[in-house]
Chain A
Amino acid sequence: MSSDFYISSILPHAGIIIKICRAYTNSQEDFEDYYQEVCLQIWKSRNNFKEQSSWTTWIYRLALNVCLTLLKKDKKLKSRFNADYIPSEVADDTKEFEDEALNELYKAIRQLSEIDRAVILLYLEKNNYTEIANIIGTNPNNIGVRIKRIKERLKKLLDGKIN
């Protein structure tokens, strides 16, 4: 991957990738692996970008797909070697952000199902329902209800610290 491509096409969207990768990993090591894999896949798949959506939307979709694939692989691998395996996204022991409230929120997000995590991340990133549905490949009509349900669950997980 040329550094030009990374600087011009990936780095401006690094925030999105970081936010998504953080939601699917627990340790700094895993996070860096996921981040690198997403960047690599963006570079490898760059010719598949057909401009039917924006570059940002395409990155969202690709980053989510890569993270979900890696997560599935990791779970399979770890559960094969360790019967007492606790999914890494649940066994939270790191504080990746300076902001304590954000750490707590991420901890709660990691306890959601994989798809709910994607939905809430896209919602928090101010994507509208149609965009969210488009990225995760679902019906926009269900998104609103789903977001409401996820927010209620997050509220419970955060033990009433949010409204």
Chain B
Amino acid sequence: MEKSIESIWNKGFLKSDALVAPKLNDLYNQKSIDIVEKFKRMYRLNVNGLVVFTAVFLPVTYFVQIPYMGIMLSVVFLSTAYAGSKFQKKLNAIDKTSDTYQYLQSFDKWTKEIVRWNEKRSRYMFSYVFISMAVGFWFGGIGGDIPGQDLMTELLRRYPDLAQVFGVPLVALLGAILIVILLSVFGPRIGKLDLNIVYGPILQRLERLLIEMEQLRA
């Protein structure tokens, strides 16, 4: 016998099993797994990427005859990758068997630790990078041109009375010191900005999720 869709609908939902509401559990598991896993993937990629980049960067700086800069910057990259791998071990050690809220809180604690470390490091790192680049430029390559020497010769030809400290123009040295101080002062902010560009959206998601979970627990 033919039936109308209205009668199928009404009759079908009269049966007791049709409208059993599922239990509200596991609500945030999927979301938190998604966030943490995404972060882990990004983080692993960045740490490994730094090592690979250094392996390419160092020989390139040798061939373009700026090896001092290459060595000094590689120290930054490799030390960052080393610290990153230490943090990665800590991240992997977070207890996955704890409940979602505890797990996310541990993860949040870990991210705060890495943010603090990054801010501290940024106070010195950007200054160091600047010094590396300046030194790299000044001393140039092994067996190649020494741009610093060439520049000094030219400057002394134009300004014979130029004040010098250890063979470097005093004005340039004072300028470099000022830049180093500024980078040291603003380094933490630059570091924070840098971290926000890479991990900002995912960390904001985590923050929102934790706020929601705290509200749910209230």
Contacts and interface: CB of A to CB of B under 8 A. Distances in A.
Interface of A: 1, 6, 11, 14-15, 17-19, 31-33, 35-36, 39-40, 44, 97-99, 101-102, 104-105, 120, 124, 151, 154-155, 158, 160-163
Interface of B: 2-6, 8-9, 11-13, 15, 17-22, 24, 26-27, 30, 212, 216
B11 A99 contact: yes
A99 B18 contact: yes
A40 B25 CA distance: 11
Given A99-B11, A101-B11, A18 B21 contact: yes
B21 A101 contact: no
A99 B21 contact: no
A161 B30 contact: no
A77 to B, nearest CB: 10
B19 A6 contact: no
B12 A162 contact: no
A133 B19 CA distance: 25
A31 B21 contact: no
Nearest to A36: B27
Which one of B9, B12, B20, B27 has the highest number of Cβ atoms from chain A below 10 Å of its Cβ? Answer: B9
Contacts of B24: 1, 6, 36, 39
Nearest to A39: B24
Nearest to A97: B18
28 contacts: A11-B21, A14-B19, A14-B21, A15-B19, A18-B20, A19-B13, A19-B19, A35-B21, A35-B22, A98-B17, A99-B12, A99-B18, A101-B11, A101-B12, A102-B9, A102-B11, A104-B8, A105-B8, A105-B9, A124-B5, A154-B5, A155-B5, A158-B5, A161-B2, A161-B3, A162-B2, A163-B3, A163-B4
A18 B19 contact: yes
A18 B2 CA distance: 26
Given A31-B22, A33-B30, A105 B5 contact: yes
A101 B3 contact: yes
B12 A105 contact: yes
B3 to A, nearest CB: 6
Nearest to A160: B2
A6 B22 CA distance: 12
Nearest to B10: A124
Given A101-B11, A102-B12, A162-B2, 11 more contacts: A11-B21, A19-B19, A31-B22, A36-B26, A36-B27, A40-B27, A44-B212, A98-B18, A99-B18, A102-B11, A105-B12
